[in-house]
Structure 1
Amino acid sequence: MKYRIEGNQKLEGKIFINGSKNAALAILVGAILSKNQVILHNTPNISDVRDLIEILKYIHCKVNYDGFTLMIDSSSIQYEDLRIDAIKKLRASYYFMGAFLSLFKKVQIYKPGGCNIGERPIDIHLNGFEKMNVQLLEKDKEVYLHTNHLKGNQIKLSFPSVGATINLVLAAIKAKGTTILRNVATEPEIIDFVQFLKSMGAKIDGEGTKTIIVHHTDELHGCTYTIMPDRIEAGTYLIYGAAIAKKLCICNIIPRQVRSLISIFVEMGIKMDIRENEITIYDSFPLRPVRVVTGPFPSFPTDLQQILCPLLLKAEGESYIIDTIYHKRSSHIEQLKKMNANVKVVDNCMFISKSDQLISSSVECNDLRGGAGMLLACLMTPGVSILNHTEFIERGYQNVIECLTQVGAKIEREEKI
């Protein structure tokens, strides 16, 4: 799939933010811990969610999805070998490790897929499972986990991994006794995930802090729950607004969840109007360069650094971005160079200097967030650009073309034959 983009159009209007991709994927897997019906509102209609739904059907869950509300009935769930191609498509498939250990005390699964953005090992997950009385057999591309019974324990994560935090909480719900998880992730998606589990009857304390305490729960009941707005989608469109908008209002957001981005905007000199659940961005000039270092929440998120990069091409001077989470998350840099951008990478530091003469070109998406960054670069550039492999973008952004064209962008989707 590819997009044909006529750049240099000013955006004006409103964009409404959809449900959180990262929260939704964890919540969908968590829903199988209940044998009753779970109803999820504000479920984003993206390819990652649709792929995960296919895995739910494979393990005999009944699923009904209208593009916003998702119904999951796990009363007929059965153990299945998860060494299937669908597991390789998305990173979040590894949540089935924790869920299957809770349900079946075993899981045989391929290592997860997702974007190629450098090393993303699952050692923190596996080390945590081992401390809960889980035996492990690991091969190159697959993992076999089994236990006679899960035991609660005190576990300190070597790094506050979002994925490991979610996986260990899923397993701890059915572990005997109490599990205390220290140095956990504090991202808003963790809070949303835990609050969903609590709405099904799970006994969990401490979400949003560095310590989560999970008490054994025999049975979880069904519930109706509304998934939080996507702070990464919100940040993406805020950056788009800062780069190419006349006046762009991003609605249905939680401003405190994008505080690190707001701080960068203030430093750059970007004009904003911040209200309870929306932020309006105004055309701003000149822009000041910034120094950005990514990190776990509440630091600047790694998922936004590739998208911020094209905006920094407009700043008066040299900016840099250091990604402390994924050191090799820089495949977009070579694509930006094709458009005459003044960018370079030294180790894990990306240097971005003002680039007034971007040239329209045919460029590639190499991953989800890098693709969103390249889409912005194409929208900033006069003339017609072609953005290839845009299926990466649609893994995480719902109706991205429709959202942008309704506020003035000129984008056409072209299916490759």
Structure 2
Amino acid sequence: MQKLEVFGANKLKGQIKISGSKNASLPILAATLLSNKKIILKNLPKVRDIETMLALLQSLGSKIKLDKNKTIIDNSKQNKKFASYNLVKTMRAGILVLGPLLAKHKSAKVSLPGGCAIGTRPVDIHLKALSKLGVKYKIDQGYVIANAPKGLKGNKIKFPKISVGATENLIIAASFAKGTTILSNCAIEPEINDLVNFLKEMGCNIKWISKRTIKIIGVSKIKEISYSVMFDRIEAGTYLVAAAVTEGNLRISNIVPEIIKTEINLLKKLGSKVMIKKNEVQIIGNRKIKNTKITTAPYPGFPTDLQAQIMVLLCKANKSSIIKEDIFENRFMHVAELNRMGARISTNGNKAIVEGNINFAPAELMATDLRASVSLILAALTAKGKSVINRIYHLDRGYENIEKKLKKVGAKIRRVN
């Protein structure tokens, strides 16, 4: 099994070009199932989750051709409706094929993602909302078996809580439903806007009518299009924190700074110097880091996907800080590993108290999930000596060429078998 060796402590200097967004690409790839024509997608990141989603589309009958910087998807003969556990188990986004399959074929059998029990998990929100479009479903042996014999029919649906995945699934499904659908209490992440822009270019009739309410009039025909996916704002945020934590000087390019305003403002408040240009941000880290209180929240709040990374920076703050995790119930798994490196972090339910003024010591570490793995790299970059990070397959799900990008700006990091 592969692992990373990281030799700290160097200040990172130079430019990092941000890849396409994993979290925007996944729903867009699912939405291509609506089409029976060719779709060309540009700027897809080369990460494991995208490979898995492409394999899932192929298993459903999509023809996929990879051509340098573009992916050509031909769904003219797409006719299968079964998404197997083997392909869905490693990523929650697998459930996003349910909406388009039901819209196009009126039935589908899709594995529950990652073997999660249905209960109060977010998948429940997807299914209850789809049932309001006329879908009948049951859960059997870890699969959602769903059908809509008369096709999907538009309706008014209010999500009980903000859910990115459920918003995406319903926008895609409603685009092909008969009549008008009004979705309220929607998530408004930039990745959802990217999905909406993609569907509109295909010929779907979608319009935001207030901040969290969207109106969709179903269509039956769509166009052949070429579309470029937005930048990865979590990757951009990760490298901004990397510059701050190593007291480095990085230019983060191929981005839209306005989209990551919350993260930029927080880093400024903590002491980093940030200069904003059209498609680029330059960040210079400061030795003196201020403490703060952060609560993760749906966009435009502070993203849960950057909580582990910012925690590393707060370990170096002048006083103690508090992080409240309000999105996921089990997202402090990186704390134990950071404490093994000398951090002083205690957790109580969804709150973490981060004592400041620490210097990380090198250690052998274990990655527990995608964002936790990258937080360990950030800590290791500041520790004098060699750290080893095991189970980096988590990392490869969401970061394209991370060690190459870090090496280019002065990090000493290598992948070993």
1:217/1:125 CA distance change after superposition, 3 Å = same
Alignment correspondent of 2:274: 272
Select which of 209, 219, 230 maps to 1:228.
230
Cross-structure match for 2:180: 178
Aligned residues: 414
Q: Is the 8 A contact 2:15 2:250 kept in 1?
A: yes
1:405 to 382, 404, 407: 407
| Letter of the structure 1 residue corresponding to residue 338 of structure 2 | L
- Measured in 2, the distance between the counterparts of 1:178 and 1:344 equals 49
Using the alignment, how far apart are the partners of 1:236 and 1:34 within structure 2? 35
How has the CA–CA distance of structure 1 residues 305 and 114 changed in structure 2, closer, same or farther, with 3 Å as cutoff? farther
Q: Deviations over 1:27-57 (max 9, x none)?
A: 1111121111100111111111011111111
Is 1:354 the counterpart of 2:356? The answer is yes
Give the match for residue 61 of structure 1. 62
Task: Kindly report which structure 2 residues correspond to 1:25-64, keeping only aligned pairs within 5 A, or say none.
Answer: 25-64=26-65
Q: Which residue of 1 aligns with 2:214?
A: 212
Answering whether residue 114 of structure 2 is matched by residue 113 of structure 1, we say yes
Q: Percent identity?
A: 37
Residues 260-292 of structure 1: CA distance to partner in whole angstroms, max 9, x if unpaired?
112211221211111111111113131110100
Q: Distance in 1 between matches of 2:245 and 2:210?
A: 32
Alignment CA distance shift 1:252-1:71 (3 Å): same
Question: CA, structure 1 residues 296+389, in 2 after alignment: closer, same or farther (shift >3 Å)?
Answer: same
> Match of 1:334?
336
Would the aligned equivalents of 1:342 and 1:355 in 2 still touch at CA under 8 Å? no
Q: Where do residues 350-389 of structure 1 align in structure 2 (5 Å cutoff)?
A: 350-389=352-391
Structure-2 change in CA distance of 1:368 and 1:160 (3 Å): same
d(CA) in 2 for partners of 1:394, 1:374: 14
Q: Distance in 1 between matches of 2:210 and 2:58?
A: 32
What per-residue deviation string (whole Å, max 9, x for no partner) do you get for residues 316-335 of structure 1? 00011111101210000011
Aligned to 1:124: 125
Instruction: Tell me by how many angstroms 1:158 deviates.
Output: 0.9
Deviation by residue 1:104-133 (Cα, 9 ceiling, x = unmatched): 1111111112999x9843111011011111
* Equivalent of 2:201 in 199, 202, 211: 199
Q: Please report how far the alpha carbon of residue 207 of structure 1 lies from its aligned counterpart in structure 2 after TM superposition.
A: 8.0
TM-score (norm 2): 0.96
Q: Compared with structure 1, are the counterparts of its residues 19 and 191 closer, same or farther at alpha carbon in structure 2 (3 Å cutoff)? A: same
The whole-number CA distance in structure 1 between the counterparts of 2:220 and 2:285 is 55
Hey, what's the Cα distance between the residues in 2 that align with 1:120 and 1:281? 38
Secondary structure of 2:252's aligned partner: strand
Note the alpha carbon deviations across 1:328-385, whole angstroms, 9 max, x for none.
Answer: 1000001111111111111100111124332211111110011111111111111000
What is the CA deviation profile of residues 131-176 of structure 1, one whole-angstrom value per residue up to 9, with x for unaligned ones? 1111010246221111112110000001121100110111111211
**Does the alignment pair 1:17 with 2:18?**
yes
* Change in CA separation of 1:395 and 1:119 when aligned onto 2, cut-off 3 Å: farther
Within a 5 Å distance, the mapping from 1:273-292 to structure 2 comes to 273-292=275-294
* Residues 1:146 and 2:147 are matched in the alignment: yes
Alpha-carbon RMSD across the aligned residues, in angstroms, is 1.7
Amino acid at match of 1:354: G
1:2 aligned residue: 3
Q: Indicate the residue corresponding to 1:293 in structure 2.
A: 295
1:81-115 deviation per Cα after TM superposition (whole angstroms, max 9, x unaligned) = 22340111211111111011011111111111299
Question: Counterpart of 1:113 in 2: which secondary structure?
Answer: helix
Aligned-pair CA distance for 1:68: 2.8
C-alpha distance in 1 between matches for 2:280 and 2:299: 21
Aligned to 1:242: 244
Could you say if the C-alpha distance between residues 114 and 262 of structure 1 is closer, same or farther in structure 2, counting changes exceeding 3 Å? farther
Partners of 1:399 and 1:9 lie apart in 2 by 19
- Tell me if structure 2 keeps the 8 A contact 1:245–1:283: yes
Contact persistence 1:239–1:307 (CA under 8 A): yes
Equivalent residue for 2:74? 73
For the pair 1:99 / 2:100, whether they are aligned, the reply is yes
Alignment partners' CA distance in 2, 1:119 and 1:210: 22
Q: Is the 8 A contact 1:188 1:208 kept in 2?
A: no
Q: Do the aligned partners of 1:98 and 1:170 also contact (CA within 8 Å) in 2?
A: yes
Q: 1:21 to 1:349 in 2, by over 3 A?
A: same
**Partners of 1:108 and 1:115 in 2: CA distance:** 16
Amino acid paired to 2:206: I
Distance 1:114 1:302, change over 3 A: farther
Distance in 2 separating the partners of 1:196 and 1:207: 18
* 3-state SS of paired residue (1:329): coil
In the alignment, structure 2 segments of 5+ residues that lack a partner are none
Contact 1:20 1:43 in 2 (8 A): yes
Q: Which amino acid aligns with 2:104?
A: L
Change (3 A) 1:33 1:131: same
Q: 1:45·1:68 contact (CA, 8 Å) conserved in 2? A: no
Q: 1:68 to 1:122 in 2, by over 3 A?
A: same
User: Partner letter of residue 383 of structure 1?
Assistant: G
2:248 partner SS: strand
Q: TM-score scaled to structure 1, two decimals?
A: 0.96
Relative to structure 1, the CA distance from residue 115 to residue 70 in structure 2 (aligned partners, 3 Å threshold; closer, same or farther) is farther
Q: Secondary structure at the match of 2:329?
A: coil
Distance in 2, matches of 1:10 and 1:33, equals 47
Aligned partners of 1:332 and 1:208: how far apart in 2? 38
Deviation at 1:67, TM superposition (A): 5.6
> Which residue type is aligned with residue 249 of structure 1?
R
Q: Which runs of 4+ in 1 moved over 4 A?
A: none
